[in-house]
Structure 1
Amino acid sequence: MNAKVYKTITICVAVLLVAALAVTLGIFVYREQKYSREIGALYDAAYYSCVDNLGDMDNKLAKLDAASSDTMRKELLNGIYTDSKVMATSLAMLAGKNDEIEAAMKFVNQLGDYAYYLASKLPAEAMTAEEKEKLDELKAITLELEEAFLKAGDKVAEGGNLYAALGAEVTALGEVYDLFTEGNVEYPEMIYDGPFSDGLRDREAKFLAGKPEISKEAAEAGLTLKYGEGFEYQGTVEGSLRAYSYTLSCGANVQITVTGGMLAEYSYYRETGAATMDEEAAAAAATQALAEAGYDGMQAVWVSVKDNTAYINCAYTENDIIYYPDLVKVKVALDDGEILGISAANYLYNHTAREAIGEVKPSDGVELAEGFETSSVRLTVIPTDWNTELTAYEFAGSIGDNVYYVYCDAYTLEQIKVMRVIKDGNEGNLIV
């Protein structure tokens, strides 16, 4: 082998080694980036879980003002306890990067334990004026904590995801900690009587029961008729709502149930322009889209507008009775009426042939909280936390500046649920 050939081979080998090293490093960097993204997603999920649970606790604390029965108060207090334990789990994940967050964990746990203590006494022993005053103090702190988390989210939005901010030792949640450093909060005396646990329940999709399964090919034939050829199969979602999952060429995600071939989920994100239609027109577009998808008898029962997008709750309605368990959520762009989202899980789980509602008591026999000004009354069927249903009168009204929906058993007239309308910080309202 002459020197020229040897030199050529040497150069080729060197180039191949460099290329191999580059590929190896590229794979390593890719995996590191992928790992960072995955961990970042976990931290983001923990953060947003905290925000959701803070909002839930704040709303339940506010609903206590409108609760007129010990049964309702007990349910709300137990709900606060459950929310606090869920949030404590999420806070524990965030605490891995910020030891200071343990102060917030302490407050959340104490709030939950105090709510559990008060609930355990009801209805045998009513809340005292002092206990109600302590709850008001805790409510004020909860609201401050919620606002601090939302401000932290704004900071994160400006500088990347939460994990990146925490990993770089940028205390994005700094506003939270100052609220709970020792001496800043005088905690009410707390009493804890033991653990409280809600069991998980398996659910059956009642609407799909007895319907035949469809093949993947049949699902795709339906997609072709609706959206054309541009879609890609992503797999089968398992669970009690098994579904074929697809991504459309526009980027929308679609799920078609294996049993019955119903549209279970549709989600599509795009920027929306200036609104050209009102809430009534958006509600009409939502119910029409549901009818075309096989969801008949639906009525818009709630509309919230944000960023020129309408978020509409549609419920099955029969004989002027609203069936809230059979709910489908629809998202409508107000610039052109395009459907941006449909979520039909509640309907698929709950809609079924029901027995006729029997004779109910007159709604004027209901005793509402002092100062409650009623604006409307209607008969509804509402879901419970135990996967059962209750026939209830819905009283829409207000106490001062707070707007509420109060539900009372139509047969006993006992108050069973309170929902509060809150401003969402933008154009619309939310009901919680």
Structure 2
Amino acid sequence: MSTLILGGGVTGLAAAWHLHRKGESVEVWEADGAVGGWMKTLPWEGGHFETGPQGVLWQKGTAVDRLFSAIDLPFRSPGTGARWVGKGGRLISVPASPVGLMTSPLMPLGAKLRMMLEPFQPVRPAEPEEGLSAFVARRLGKGVATELLPAMVAGVLAAPPEILSVDAIPKLRQWESTGSLVNGIRKGGVSHMVVPEGGMGQLPLRLAERLPAVRTGLRAERLEALPGGRWRATGGGEVREADRVVLALPAFEAAALLGSVAPQSADALASIPYTSVDLWHSRHAPLPALKDSFGFLIHPPEGRGYLGSLVPSWMDPQSAPEGVMQLRSFIGGAFGKPADLETWEGVFARLKHWIPVLGDPSATRHERAERAIPRPELGHRARVKAALEGLPAGVDWLSNARFGPGVRDILEGLEVWIG
């Protein structure tokens, strides 16, 4: 069988890699001049910066581990770094253990005690679809849902949990299906953040190297059904026919191609909202407090559009020259971008509010990630179901909007998809 995959991000490339290993004829088209989509590692004065994920959650024997091993992609784990949540005008440590969380000022005592009752909460059926905040409140209590969840979700999906579906974080339902979140985490084991040598951009590059036909700078403009169940894609002066076409594209791009051949799918995909964020990369003199730090997230009511900052130079020492601390700050998302955050001066003022001892930067970079993050709002499950059910034979759609926001979610979803 011949398959044409439209989209050379990590989803499309990993899907192509799986199919190629099964002996299928696969070709990938990527509209950009380089593979990776939002997952790129770009050079920056003696180091690099990420345009997409900073790392990936890894655990031995999982889909991530199997793929990294198969493509010989070396990686390192920075370990367990300090994490904070900005609340009440200060950074509060997020303990790594449940015992530590019980003594943390992050939540009132009543919320902590309710959280400890999670293993005794009944399991709810998967249907009807539940909101993310409602799910967390049901299992862990309203205190966790209001005091801790908003900052955590803002740091991943750049959106308030009140508008999201529980499907925005697929692991939650998977864990609950075992009886409780505690039981699911215990059975599945703890994952660790890892970074490939050379940055996350090495993952799509390594996948592309192992594929026979990857075309960059080639955007599909039209999709047509042919007699005998075959398909034709046209774009950039190229025409390709195949037994199957896989749209490894954001929902809105897939919708544009499906309008004339699968209107139900096109309408459903077009209804999936996406979020844009601004990224500010900055380099500073090292601070002892952030030496071994993952970074900090800001409680959204206090962040006012500033979502938080990571410390890439701790997670990936190759990202910055020796003796330099590199930060990555996230702005906007579904929370909006106030006027004071339009410039670096405004962003720096917010950083100084939370880290008063932070020195002036030696260098800064700004990146705009336009419609980079799918926003699985309540009703997302029905939208994805309608999109998949409306696809004609020989056409499929793969995306983080289908599998989940993280690289781990995508790779696990693809293993199920490939069968």
Give TM-score scaled by structure 2 length: 0.28
* Higher normalized helix content (fraction of residues): 1
Larger radius of gyration: 1
Structure 1 length as normaliser, TM-score? 0.27
